[in-house]
Amino acid sequence: MTAAAPAPAVLPQATAKPASAAMIWSALAVVYVVWGSTYLGIRIVVEAKIPPMLGMGARFLVAAVLLAAFLAIKSGVTRLRVTRRELLGAAVVGLLLLALGNGAVAIAEKTVPSGLSALLVAAVPLWLMLLRVGGGERPRALTWLGVLIGFTGAALLALSGGDTSAKPLSVAILVAGTISWAVGSRFSPRLGLPKDPLVATLYEMVAGGTAMLLIGVLAGEPGRLHLSAIEPKGWIALAYLVVFGSLLAYSAYSYLLANAPISLIGTYAYVNPAVAVLLGWLILSEPVTAEIMLGGAIVVVGVALVVSAERRRTS
């Protein structure tokens, strides 16, 4: 969130064949790097006077239209047909991941620097761990140690707001968004999504984007939208989010949810912060304080322990 390659060049047309390790790691690489950059893109969009929910809603709806057109031209409109259950499942995932998860990031980044946002989102694998425990699984002791360390780091990040412009309410909204994202990621394989990951992505973006626009309207964002006041960099960042953050990276993430273990998928959350902090510092001159560095390091250690423990358990 690279060269401008369309998502279908990275992802298979359907999941009829077992996913290869090369495909999984290619998709992971896209999510690692591109999503790390989208925190910066979102920050630029909201700073350019584009209301967060209207901007992100437009982002996903435009991406959905482009993806639908590509799939229809490439394979015919029959490829877009889904059952009612598949449509409902995609809508639920779109609401949890995009409207509530990504939307929370956009709202929070009005005051939370992009690097700090990415670091807080690094707690997603830890929420996934707790959801697994709630489902009756018994993690290893090393996993619990990782959870404890990771949440300690997240707490330190939240308390480091004195050296940034972050507001406590924005941090709380962001944390709520990470929980919603974790819930959607955890249960998406059980919701009967379309077997074609690109088609699933399409309907998730339609549902999530539509919900974002409705939330934005209810929040009074249209009254704060003045097209003539939007800086060119805002339009450029929004276009980047459409092509790379949505068409490429979100499609890759949907593919991973259908084909890779959730413990492996969750590793993106501690690679993204390094990319986001670096770009935020280079491009926006965002401060990288000692507290942020320490908190980020603690989060990374905690999540790494969780992933290591889970890999040993499945080996």
Model pLDDT for residues 114-126, shown as the tens digit of each residue: 667 777 777 787 7
At 224-254, the pLDDT tens digits run 888 888 989 999 999 999 999 999 998 898 8
Burial of 138 (0-12, 13-18, 19+ CB in 10 A): exposed
Q: Is 9 helix (H, G, I), strand (E, B) or coil?
A: helix
pLDDT 10s digits, 176-222: 999 999 999 888 888 889 989 899 999 999 999 999 999 999 999 99
Q: What pLDDT is recorded for position 149?
A: 84
Q: Which two tokens stand for residue 5?
A: 């390659």
The count of other CB atoms within 10 Å of the CB of residue 96 is 25
Does this model's pTM top 0.95? My answer is: no
Measure the CA–CA gap between 11 and 24, rounded to whole angstroms. Answer: 9
Domain map of the chain by residue range? 21-314
- The pLDDT assigned to 162 comes to 47
The runs of H, that is alpha helices, within 190-289 are: 197-218, 232-240, 251-259, 262-265, 268-284
Tokens of 190: 């059980």
Residue 99: predicted pLDDT: 95
Question: Region 9-20: what's the mean pLDDT?
Answer: 48
Name 78's Cβ contacts closer than 8 Å, sequence gap at least 6: none
Average pLDDT over residues 100-115: 83
User: pLDDT band for position 163 (50/70/90)?
Assistant: very low
